Structure 1
Amino acid sequence: MIEERYRARADAFEAKVAAVLSHQWDNPSPCARWTALEVVDHVIDMHGVMVGHPITRTEDPLTDFREARRVVEEALASRGSEEVSTPGGPMTLADHVDQVVSDDLVLHGWDLARATGQDEKIPAADVERLWATATAVPAELMERFRTPGAFGPGIEVYGPEVPVPSEASLQDRLLGYVGRDPMSKSL
């Protein structure tokens, strides 16, 4: 199930990366201080973190994401049940990938779509799963998630919560909860 979920999310993210026009890479994203290219770079970097070594880079974000994806899929297949140390305590590599980069593909896929004028719709099952996960985080840990650098230099899990109307869609409530402003106009 974890491998299938990762594969579906990676397919969707890869399609968004492939659809970025060359002049859009410098567009600002909903992630403070990040361009569209920096969103993709972050996702690639986090894939490297999951497998314990950096991803080899080229000048092409799509090629680089495909390599990152290949490395993670290979790690899931060969050592997914291996126990790894994480900021949240020991867990399997597969669970860590599922909770970090797989979820990142969904949220940063929205960021990339917003930055480049693509379809911003997140699959309902992903919205529901991420909402349940995010809102289950204890308040003291959520404060740490919202503190830049709490998990290492340059790492920010969630931004400050952005208020959205109570009648907003679950997708918009999720995005506001994790620090995006879904009510702002597309960039």
Structure 2
Amino acid sequence: MSDVLYHYQRVSEGFGSRLLALKPGQLSLPTPCSDWDVRNLVVHVIDTHWRVASMPEREADPAGDLMSQWSDATAAVQTALADPETSATLVGGMFGERSFASLVDSLLSADTLFHTWDLARATSQGEELDKEAVTRALAYLTPLDEAIRRPGGFGPKIDSAPGADIQTRFLNFGGRAV
């Protein structure tokens, strides 16, 4: 198993476990992403996975079984990562061409981590993220700082308190107040 596939599986399992733990009525709760309730946040994450899997024609059905749709989307990404040819295929992105594996390892994993925390916070679930994945995501995102702060990207970052742990620094970087 490739390092990227292993890393992605850990990140996607974090989101999936929180999605699986949703209780009736929680889909309409507000999230730290002010434009989205829980349902819209989950739909965004699923749709992002389909776009990255080069299947933009696939979209989440907000009224459908979100857990099943999440499973299908993550399976598509994992299948692509497991295929050496697909994994190495160059794909376009907001920062130019890169391999599919690189796109998953960087932007998709970081986006999923942020939204895992958003989902956990909105639904009063455990907010601890995979420390290795957070460290990896922050290392990738930090040099891109101002380039990712635009509409449809990241909002303003929050200055972290001195001595803040890696997860707090990551979340603050993504504009989340912890």
1:7 corresponds in structure 2 to 9
CA distance in 1, matches of 2:10, 2:163: 29
Gap regions ≥5 residues in structure 1: 149-154, 183-187
1:144 shift after superposition: 3.8
Code of the aligned partner of 1:145: I
1:36 counterpart = 2:4: no
Within 5 Å, which residues of 2 pair with 1:80-119?
A: 80-119=87-126
1:181 counterpart = 2:171: no
Q: Is the 1:164–1:176 Cα contact (8 Å) retained in structure 2?
A: yes
2:149 corresponds in structure 1 to 146
SS at match of 2:95: coil
2:165 corresponds in structure 1 to 169
Q: Is the 1:36–1:112 Cα contact (8 Å) retained in structure 2?
A: yes
Code of the aligned partner of 1:147: R
1:152 corresponds in structure 2 to none
* TM-score, normalization by structure 1: 0.84
Code of the aligned partner of 2:52: M
Q: Is the 2:50–2:59 Cα contact (8 Å) retained in structure 1?
A: no
Identical aligned pairs, as a percentage?
Answer: 30
* TM-score, normalization by structure 2: 0.88
Pick the aligned partner of 2:23 from 21, 24, 31. Answer: 21
User: CA 1:57–1:33 in structure 2 vs 1: closer, same or farther (change >3 Å)?
Assistant: closer
SS at match of 2:28: coil
Q: How many residues align?
A: 171
Q: Is the 2:14–2:129 Cα contact (8 Å) retained in structure 1?
A: no
2:74 corresponds in structure 1 to 69
Q: Is the 1:84–1:90 Cα contact (8 Å) retained in structure 2?
A: yes
Post-superposition, which runs of at least 4 consecutive aligned residues in structure 1 deviate over 6 A? none
